[in-house]
């Protein structure tokens, strides 16, 4: 994979998005450290203590949360990805290098599950967001083919309410032409300008090609250890 993501597209187009080559390299090294599945919980009682920083990945079902965690950590099957929406039904935690927890949150907005099931996942996600002072950042994943949708409003509202620092990550960039990538980044930034808790930066990624991963690793480390 490329050492920097400048040719990955738009992650570097915002002036604040510049990471020094040293920071990119440090992040690459950190994410090459051992990572393991820590636990999956269906209720908050089972969560570990708050002694370590956490960064969480949230977003619609099927948006690519589990795939992104696998791509960040260069693992194939760490987080289980699936074509079946609603695959991740628990809060799953992974421990990177014994010092940072990566949290795969249940997705929202899939049609197949029963209403009760959907609500249960969403309540779990919301409760998690509210109750974790060691939660350093939430990455809200948005499918770059669709941009922000009304289905994302509830998640944005929950994040604003929980006053958690969050940042949008666009996924599946490999499905778009460069001009479409530029357009969705611009439209998403514009929509987020009305959301004060949103971090004013967007990373365009592809778990498929690895685009944006070098930058996102640096982002995650900066956020996790800020
Ligand atoms: N082309 C392409 N497909 C992707 C990418 N990331 C994920 N996918 C596909 O999208 C589907 C859903 O991916 P997951 O990672 O399981 O999505 P998720 O958000 O974890 O889904 P839930 O656990 O159901 O909430 C899978 O078929 C993936 O292979 C990407 O960057 N590019
Ligand atoms: Mg998943």
102-150 per-position pLDDT tens digit: 999 888 766 555 666 666 666 777 888 888 999 999 999 999 999 998 8
Instruction: Take residue 121 and report the two structure tokens written for it.
Output: 């996942």
Among 62, 79, 143, 151, name the best residue to mutate to test ligand 1's pocket (greatest count of ligand atoms within 8 A of Cβ): 62
Among 56, 61, 63, 67, name the best residue to mutate to test ligand 1's pocket (greatest count of ligand atoms within 8 A of Cβ): 67
Atom of ligand 1 nearest to the CA of 108: 25
Is the pLDDT score of 55 beyond 70?
yes
Note the pLDDT of residue 82: 62
Note the pLDDT of residue 226: 86
Domain map of the chain by residue range? 6-224
Q: How far is CA 155 from the centre of its chain?
A: 13
User: Is any atom of ligand 1 closer than 6 Å to the C-beta of 112?
Assistant: no
From 1.20.1530.20, 3.40.50.720, 3.40.50.300, 3.30.2350.10, which CATH number describes the 6-224 domain?
3.40.50.300
Q: How far is CA 225 from the centre of its chain?
A: 16
Please state the pTM of the whole predicted model: 0.89
159-216 per-position pLDDT tens digit: 888 888 999 999 999 999 999 999 999 999 999 988 888 988 899 999 999 999 999 9
5-36 per-position pLDDT tens digit: 444 344 444 445 579 999 999 999 999 999 99
Helices (runs of H) and strands (runs of E) counted in the chain: 6, 7
Note the pLDDT of residue 157: 86
Distances (CA, A) of 3 to 21, 27, 135: 8, 10, 28
Note the pLDDT of residue 112: 56
């Amino acid at each position: 994979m490329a050492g920097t993501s400048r040719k990955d597209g738009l992650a570097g187009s915002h002036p604040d998005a510049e990471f020094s080559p040293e920071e990119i390299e440090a992040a690459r090294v950190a994410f090459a450290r051992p990572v393991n599945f820590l636990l999956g919980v269906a209720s908050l009682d089972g969560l570990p203590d708050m002694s370590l920083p956490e960064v969480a990945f949230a977003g619609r079902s099927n948006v690519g949360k589990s795939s992104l965690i696998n791509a960040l950590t260069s693992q194939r099957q760490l987080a289980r990805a699936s074509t079946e929406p609603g695959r991740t039904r628990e809060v799953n935690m992974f421990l990177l290098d014994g010092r940072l927890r990566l949290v795969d949150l249940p997705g929202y907005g899939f049609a197949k599950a029963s209403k009760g099931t959907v609500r249960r996942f969403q309540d779990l996600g919301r409760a998690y967001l509210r109750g974790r002072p060691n939660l350093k950042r939430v990455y809200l994943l948005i499918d770059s083919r669709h941009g922000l949708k009304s289905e994302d409003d509830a998640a944005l509202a929950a994040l604003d309410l929980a006053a958690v620092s969050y940042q949008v990550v666009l996924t599946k960039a490999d499905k778009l032409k460069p001009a479409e990538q530029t357009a969705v980044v611009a439209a998403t930034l514009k929509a987020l300008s009305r959301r004060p808790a949103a971090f004013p930066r967007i990373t365009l990624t592809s778990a498929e090609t690895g685009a944006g991963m070098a930058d996102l690793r640096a982002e995650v480390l900066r956020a996790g250890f800020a």
